């Protein structure tokens, strides 16, 4: 393994501070030019880090949320369990309101809350200690899940393949190998070579700023393209598979991911290219029967109009529609890769079996 790959694969993008009182994250909005670590003590800073995409990627958001609510629980001054629970739930709901689409946020916070409610007979000090253990478990489990997803995903591609990816689902968005990028990083470690075409992913450029950064550092052949160039690279025969992550998967296999993903899937279907969604089972939301039940986050129009530009690229009065995600219909997805195995159509049956 090269030193460059080791640095990328094992980047510590979310962690507890040494004293356990704060969450330390890499500010992803500053990449690729500046590597800046932020130390989050206050609830407002934790909310802002998630909302402003300083920490992003569904699994990484879940890990950050777990550590954050633990740190906030340490700060609660309550005379009894009832008071502690009320304040814990208030802080939990506040953090949960930062981003609605990535299910890992609510999943991690609900899991932390269960620790509190299941141990009402214990002292507050003991409960806080258990919360730290649970947050660490969530992080450790994600590391193991990413490796398992990478192993399963690697069986779907071969040495020399061309892969198209959208947004960012590498170590920065998760832990260790990542999800959609995991098979590529794992394959590289094992001597395989791939040609990756990374969509820039408008309007926040996660593909340009983060995916191309991670792959280049790992020594993987990566070519950055604008989102509207995906069709031509497919037509040219340069793509053998599409790998994307996911932020929420419905019970029927419909998958929400970064805006533009559904367009990639439609193109892949046209050119008869396999389209794979990779993510941990924590991103599945069986309460959503279909993608129609997934809430889509709408973001600030300024992200389209002026972010990353020296001057605005549109007049201030021009209306902008800025959904953060879209939903890819299950009929366009070749397979969904999880840490427990690969789900194939019909997804209502294979996903149900996954959780049986």
Q: Could you tell me if 74 and 21 are in contact, meaning their C-beta atoms sit under 8 angstroms apart?
A: yes
Q: Where are the beta strands (DSSP E) in the chain?
A: 14-16, 23-26, 37-40, 162-165, 195-199, 221-225, 241-244, 248-249, 255-258, 275-278, 325-328, 335-338, 341-343
How many Cβ atoms from other residues are within 10 Å of residue 341's Cβ? 15
Look up residue 205 and give its two tokens.
């450029």
Continuous segment of H or E residues that includes residue 108: helix 103-118
Question: Alpha-carbon distance 75 to 349, whole Å?
Answer: 45
Nearest to 326 by CA among 275, 243, 262, 231: 262
Residues 6+ apart with CB under 8 A from 355: 281, 284, 286
Largest separation between any pair of C-alpha atoms in the chain: 67
Residues 6+ apart with CB under 8 A from 158: 240
Look up residue 288 and give its two tokens.
């959503």
* Candidate list 247, 254, 285, 326, residue with the active-site label: 247
Nearest to 326 by CA among 285, 281, 300, 291: 291
Q: Establish whether 247 is a catalytic residue.
A: yes
Residues 6+ apart with CB under 8 A from 25: 13, 14, 15, 37, 38, 40, 49, 54, 55, 64
Question: Alpha-carbon distance 344 to 204, whole Å?
Answer: 31
Nearest to 38 by CA among 14, 66, 11: 14
State the catalytic residues.
247
């Amino acid at each position: 393994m090269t030193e460059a790959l080791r640095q990328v694969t094992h980047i510590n993008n979310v962690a507890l501070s040494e004293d356990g009182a704060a969450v330390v994250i890499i500010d992803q909005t500053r990449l690729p030019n500046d590597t800046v670590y932020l130390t989050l003590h206050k609830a407002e800073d934790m909310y802002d880090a998630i909302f402003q995409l300083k920490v992003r990627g569904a699994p990484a958001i879940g890990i950050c949320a777990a550590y954050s609510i633990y740190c906030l629980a340490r700060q609660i001054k309550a005379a009894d369990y009832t008071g502690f629970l009320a304040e814990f739930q208030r802080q939990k709901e506040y953090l949960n309101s930062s981003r609605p689409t990535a299910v890992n946020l609510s999943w991690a916070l609900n899991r932390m809350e269960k620790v509190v409610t299941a141990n009402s007979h214990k002292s507050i000090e003991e409960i806080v200690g258990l919360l730290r253990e649970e947050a660490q478990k969530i992080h450790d489990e994600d590391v193991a899940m990413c490796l398992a997803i990478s192993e399963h995903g690697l069986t779907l591609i071969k040495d020399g393949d061309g892969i198209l990816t959208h947004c960012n689902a590498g170590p920065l968005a998760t832990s260790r190998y990542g999800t959609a990028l995991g098979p590529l990083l794992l394959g590289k470690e094992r001597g395989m070579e791939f040609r990756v075409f990374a969509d820039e992913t408008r309007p926040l450029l996660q593909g340009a700023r983060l995916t191309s950064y991670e792959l280049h550092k790992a020594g993987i052949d990566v070519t950055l393209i604008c989102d509207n160039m995906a069709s031509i690279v497919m037509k040219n025969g340069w793509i053998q598979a599409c790998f994307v992550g996911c932020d929420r998967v419905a019970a029927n296999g419909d998958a929400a991911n970064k805006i533009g993903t559904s367009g990639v899937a439609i193109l892949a279907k046209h050119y008869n290219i396999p389209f794979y969604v990779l993510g941990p089972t924590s991103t599945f939301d069986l309460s959503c029967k279909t993608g129609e039940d997934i809430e889509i986050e709408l973001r600030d129009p300024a992200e389209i109009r002026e972010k990353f530009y020296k001057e605005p690229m549109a007049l201030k009065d021009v209306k902008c529609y800025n959904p953060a995600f879209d939903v890819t219909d299950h009929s366009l997805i070749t397979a969904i890769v999880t840490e427990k195995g690969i789900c194939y159509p019909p997804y209502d049956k294979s996903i149900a079996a996954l959780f049986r």
